[in-house]
Structure 1
């Protein structure tokens, strides 16, 4: 098995494992959300190939550094290279997401994020905050969610929503940024385990 195939297999396994963990934590709500996210970014498929290619190149560098290293200095260097490569892949992915068109399937993603938030908060009586770029699509989806309203305040994020119960007692951050941040530690752990680096 080539290192490229191993990396593709590792990334697929990481995404599948991460999705399963989050599905358990969100009581199966994330499966529908992930599907909506996948459906909302079909224009990024060609960019995905480039991200994977860049990731493979970085992973090859990391693997060369990891193989045969056993002392503490080499281990620390491995961790730094691993962190830099993961950060670079995440940074590239975030740039692509930031440029995603807000029309078409994106409204399905927003609908899913809103439904998820009402399930987590246990109420549809919510106040929703979003970015300036997403206000129009969020407002459109909120018209189908009785008892909800769009805040006049905006937040700085790639996309998605922050939902608060109207009494202010509960808040759920369901922005794309927050979702990615929740995934990062799991992905880093899986990649580190794949290359035999413990952190």
Structure 2
């Protein structure tokens, strides 16, 4: 990889990281706003229930209050869970929209090379096959040749970019496609982002 390609690749990574940080800031702001709205709604409903309860007989008021508070908490909790999931999914839908066009980016060959190095390097000395989208066949052939790697290349997957390395028997598989990378980040960040959205 030439120095210019490395710089371009590092700039792309920096740009993606800055975009992710901006999105995280937006998520934090939305989460704080959502948490405030939920707290305000909970407080308002609790006050309404309390006002109704005072007007009723002590026993029936106590029963009704407990019932309504239980239902209100359940409604608010369900709404919060739905909102959290929607915000989380929207963030990754946005990321997917950007990454799905990566193959058209002039920096894609350098990115593909890095993904290829990671996947093939993880296979070590084990004989392996490489699986790519047919749109990446020429790029993959040139990239592996430049890396001095000889192996069979199969065009048996569809993806937004990247590749999969596997042992001939399929027992070992290293997926380094755009989709698999995004999914790994998604699962890794899910708990962290949910904690932010919960105000934790």
TM-score class, shorter-chain normalisation, is: 0.5 to 0.7
The residue number in structure 2 matching 1:163 is 165
3-state SS in 2 of match to 1:125:
coil
Q: C-alpha displacement at 1:186, in angstroms?
A: 2.5
- 1:19-70 CA deviation, whole Å, 9 max, x = no partner? xxxxxxxxxxxxxxxx996544678799779866875675455334444559
Structure 2 residue 84 is matched with structure 1 residue 82: yes
For structure 1, list consecutive stretches of 5 or more residues without a partner in the other structure: 1-34
1:138 matched residue in structure 2: 140
Give deviations 1:93-133, integer Å, cap 9, x for gaps. Answer: 11111112445432222222222112322236321112233
Alignment pair present for 1:111 and 2:113? yes
Cα distance 1:47–1:58, how it changes in 2: closer, same or farther (>3 A)?
same
Which stretch has the larger CA shift, 124-133 or 83-92? 124-133
Q: Find the residue that maps to 1:116 and give its secondary structure.
A: helix
Which protein has the bigger helix share? 2
User: Contact between 2:31 and 2:197, CA under 8 Å: does it hold in 1?
Assistant: no
In structure 2, the partner of 1:188 is: 190
For 1:134 and 1:142, how far apart are their aligned partners in 2? 12
Give the number of aligned pairs. Answer: 163
RMSD (CA atoms):
3.5
Q: SS at the partner of 2:102?
A: coil
**1:156-177 CA-partner distances (Å, limit 9, x unpaired):** 2221111112354311111111
2:95 corresponds to: 93
